[in-house]
A and B are shown apart, each in its own frame.
Chain A
Amino acid sequence: MSAFLQATIYGLLQGGLLALVAVGFSLVWGVMNVVNLAHGGFVILGAYVGWEMHQWFGLDPFLGMFVAAAVMFVVGYALQRLLINLVINGPIFITLLLTFGLDLMIVQGMNLVFSADYRSIRTSYASQSLALGSVRVPLGRLLAFSLAVGITLILVAVMNRTRTGMSILATGMDRGAARLMGIRARHVYALTFGIAAALAGMAGAMIGTVGTFNPSAAASFTLMSFVVAVLGGLGNMYGALVGGLVIGLVQAWGGQYLPGTWVNALAFLVLIVVLIFRPTGLVGRKYYAARLEV
């Protein structure tokens, strides 16, 4: 029972982080219909910014992640404004390939600059843990979880309540109509991509604190974002949060009770089953799953 509880706690904590990793991915997909294969690259890039801040300025990673967010926002805004907007009306393969090319450049660039060694942002408190009865809660993960969930909720509020957020959602629903209302679609798209990159960067800095990372980990974060975004569903800002927590739990329980590395197949099994039986995801809106690509 205690092993089950421990796995559950661990799964929830991991799930919160996964939600923050995937929420930007889900936002970009929902608003622009772009599946960003470089998303995992953004996460790792954020982790390196956090690492550098900690290394050179002694900045605590939970503060450094805001620097990472700022840097990644600028990178994301510029990429969308100058590059991805050029092909946004093309068939789906085009944006997929463009972001794949970006991913190759980002990952290989990081390999050249930072080398392929595993790194971790070490703090004095992250490895300590709280004991709740027989269950141990790692402090760093708890902090990361709380921040991740908090930031996701703030994003939801910003999207639904501010003018900027609503203009992003409106552009996602009907770009033509939004432009007629005076919304600058180019700017709004760039803003959306920038926000997504910033969130990915923040998540990266936290991942660097609670675990290790290197450039080639980028691909697995892109895949996890896929799974979480599909499972949660598009068109609902809570989708990524629900999807992340479910996947976190499924993986933790699978790791506890399945032999070998079968747990790795579990996330994909969940993905395929959800796609076949409920393509709108757990809390997504029908419109987004039924939408055909331009």
Chain B
Amino acid sequence: MPTLTKVPQKRIFSTLQGDQARRLRPWALGLVVLLAALGLQGQLYSGQERTVATIFMFVALAQAWNLIGGFAGYASFGQVVFFGVGGYFTAVAMSHWHFNFWTSLLLSGFVSALFAVIIGIPLLRLKGHYFAIATLGVAEGMREVVTNLTDLTGGGAGITVPTVGSNATTAYLGNDGFYQLFLGLAVLSVIISGLVARNKFGYALRAINQDEDAAAALGINTNRMKVLTFALSGFITGLVGASYAFQQVTIFPERLFDVDITVLMIIMVIIGGSGTVLGPLLGAVALQFLSEFLRQNFTNLHTFILGAIIIVAVVLLPQGAVNYVNEARRTKEFSLLANVRKYRL
């Protein structure tokens, strides 16, 4: 295990209490943000409420991707498969087996985690682009499987979760309910990410990211760590997918296994700063907000401008905003041009 070498503190007041306060500061800040988010709900009309709920959804998705892609460094390009599996499990459980939503939600998380273990054991032996493409293949393949299991999933025509009448197992949550549900998932994902970041587990993942052979030599069971992380990441993504399926009522394979959802998660993490807790949070909020703004103001050009923004962000800030600020504060080198020079040929 890599140990943190403590630099001797020069400050006189660096007592135990100071350390404690510094450790608690992010949690206190998080609590303030959470209360603000709950307070904000009363101020929004229903359209805005849905938009903000979608931001929360992407916060949870980005945090989930960051576990496997950011901390462990395995770029899962098929992450949406857990979203789809979770969503379809909930839809099938509620409409065919008459489970209530909360049971289905929890089970969806575990089913997605199990699926992550099953595909993770063979695929996590692959590295780099090969892992990315294999997971992409799994996601695309699963979409076709779900499309063809017509009896269970309704195929391309979609499946509808019963929300009204005697068939409804759980009353539809409405805008207010889904706002709180997605907020809860976002908070859960941030807490999990925060715990992983400071835990032995998180340091093991960072070691795997930097040099997998060296990590194994240090006694880290790299395979188990990677599969566990993939399962945890799949668990959160599955929960989000299940909630999304209930919110949408009718779901289709095209949407639930849409590769664009994966790509959005990745962009949010990269732009914010991968391998950090704050990065995916900021990235998800910034990108989703921007995307919504562009959609409303430049309906036709919105995807085009989004593409241009991604290119500029990637060229100027390849390591992400949070990592850039951290590095710049340490090295006192704030120039973006110097930043570009780092990865240039």
Contacts and interface: CB of A to CB of B under 8 A. Distances in A.
Contacts of B127: 292-293
A226 interface: yes
Contacts of A33: 129
Interface residues on B, range: 35 or more
Indicate the member of B259, B301, B345 with the most A CB atoms within 10 Å.
B345
B21 to A, nearest CB: 35
B311 interface: yes
A268 B140 contact: yes
A42 B137 CA distance: 22
B256 interface: no
Size class of the contact patch on chain A: 35 or more
Secondary structure type dominating chain B contacts: helix
Contacts of B181: none
Contacts of A153: none
Contacts of B308: 101, 105
Contact of A279 (B130, B136, B315): B130
B123 interface: yes
A241 to B, nearest CB: 20
Interface stretch (B10-18, B90-98, B183-191, B266-274): B266-274
B126 to A, nearest CB: 6
Contacts of B274: 93
A160 B266 CA distance: 38
Interface of B: 69, 75, 77, 122-123, 125-130, 132-134, 136-138, 140-141, 144-145, 147-148, 150, 259, 263, 266-267, 270, 274, 300-301, 303-304, 306-311, 314-315, 318, 340, 342-345
16 contacts: A85-B345, A88-B344, A91-B318, A93-B75, A98-B315, A100-B263, A101-B308, A101-B310, A101-B311, A105-B308, A223-B136, A226-B137, A230-B133, A261-B148, A268-B144, A275-B133
- The 10 A-B residue pairs with the shortest CB-CB distance in the complex, in nearest-first order: A104-B307, A101-B310, A265-B144, A268-B141, A105-B307, A90-B343, A101-B311, A108-B303, A108-B304, A271-B137
Interface of A: 29, 33, 35, 83, 85-94, 96-98, 100-105, 107-109, 112, 185-186, 189, 219, 223, 226-227, 230, 260-262, 264-265, 268-269, 271-272, 275-276, 279, 289, 291-293
